[in-house]
Amino acid sequence: MPSFFLHQGFAGQQIRCNPWQPNQYIISSSQHFGVVGSGKVYIVEAPQGFAPGSLVRLVGCWGTSDGVFDSCFSEMDQNLVVCACGDGVKVFNVPQSANRDGVMPLIHNLEHQQEVSCVAWHSAKRDNFFSGSWDTTIKLYSAVNPQQSICTFVGHMKEVYEIATTARSPTSFLSCSGDASWKLWDTRTPQRPVLSQFGHQNQIVLSVDFNKVDPNVFATGGVDRTVRVWDARRPNQPLVSLPGHDQACRRVRFSPHSKTLLASGGYDMRVCVWDLNSPQRPMVARYQHHREFVLGVEWSAAVPNMLATTSFDGTCYFIPVGQQPTPSPPQQLPPAVPPPRKVVPRTKVLPGLPQPMPPLPMPGTAPRSPR
């Protein structure tokens, strides 16, 4: 199946579909697993149907002064992307940035006190987007003026790992954290969450995603190695717990084409596909094509049952569920030189998670915690 190789030395952190062009994806990456160094953003186009022997086309890439841990396209302007970076929230203009050396962002918001771990454009209220950080806070921004956040949501006790929105509610969003909880928020009452639950045996919750059909249902993935599915109307216990990973489950994603299909990726280097319509044998596929932690999992918005994955091994695969992933030849990539780096204080390494062994930081830089 088609695959794409990042620049040497860069680890894949996240992959998301482009809502304007469903065959396109934006890939976030960082040097040295995000511990220290710069980042790169890639926009690629997968072939229709992910046909065997076809190649992934690089639309453009650019370097950033610090690691990029998440990126998403604006829901209002197809030329804009927002990135979660080690040194803040950044907004880039794609035509002005792609394949240019040392490009600077249109906006560089420095409100978060530690590295920014995630961003999410609101899929219902499309003039808003969110960011989450290792400083434990979530911030809401107006797309009209992202230089300053609208409000800050304070409720988590440790780092925020992911934020999820639903197209079926303009006020609701979910978050998950190193404090072992998931939280459901209402933007009209930022002072406290609507719901809060310790969801994975009091272990870190690394990922959260809404069901695309039923906004009451959502999934989480955690360090306890399980995928859990919840109903917000009965939040005290999960609807189902899905064991299948041998290490922490880093990413969960519901299919946009099916109410019952979801995928997960983990630190065991595996990608699992689950069907909730089969409670006796819910795992319908499991892949081991990556050689390092799988941090990015995304369903194709254009083609049902197609998955895109990215990993710390610097590769991205585009897989029809049920077929064996095979790499396509590496491509010659243009240089993507980052702008000058501003060194900012970093958080400590998070205990209790399997960590890759990064190279020692270069003189004059400060280490950052692995994602």
pLDDT at 358 over 60: no
What pLDDT is stored for residue 49 in this prediction? 66
Q: Say which range, 138-142, 153-157, 340-344, has the weakest mean pLDDT.
A: 340-344
Full residue range of the structural domain in which residue 283 is found: 3-320
pLDDT at 363 over 50: no
Nearest-angstrom CA–CA distance, 313 and 126 = 33
Report the candidate in 91, 80, 5, 1 with the shortest Cα–Cα distance to residue 310.
Answer: 5
Please provide residue 33's backbone torsions phi and psi, each rounded to the nearest 5 degrees.
65, 15
Instruction: Let me know if residue 248 belongs to a domain.
Output: yes
CATH of the domain at 263: 2.130.10.10
The total domain count for the chain is: 1
Instruction: Let me know if residue 122 belongs to a domain.
Output: yes
What pLDDT is stored for residue 263 in this prediction? 98
Per-residue pLDDT reduced to its tens digit, 73-83: 999 999 999 99
Nearest-angstrom CA–CA distance, 171 and 168 = 9
Instruction: Let me know if residue 337 belongs to a domain.
Output: no
What pLDDT is stored for residue 365 in this prediction? 40
Instruction: Let me know if residue 354 belongs to a domain.
Output: no
pLDDT at 321 over 70: yes
Instruction: Let me know if residue 190 belongs to a domain.
Output: yes
Instruction: Let me know if residue 351 belongs to a domain.
Output: no
Instruction: Give 47-111 as a DSSP string.
Output: PGGG-TT--PEEEEEEEESS-EEEEEE-SS-TTEEEEEETTEEEEEEHHHHTT-TTPPPSEEE--
Cβ pair 75, 121 in contact under 8 A: yes
3-state secondary structure of 168: coil
Confidence of residue 334 (pLDDT cuts 50, 70, 90): confident
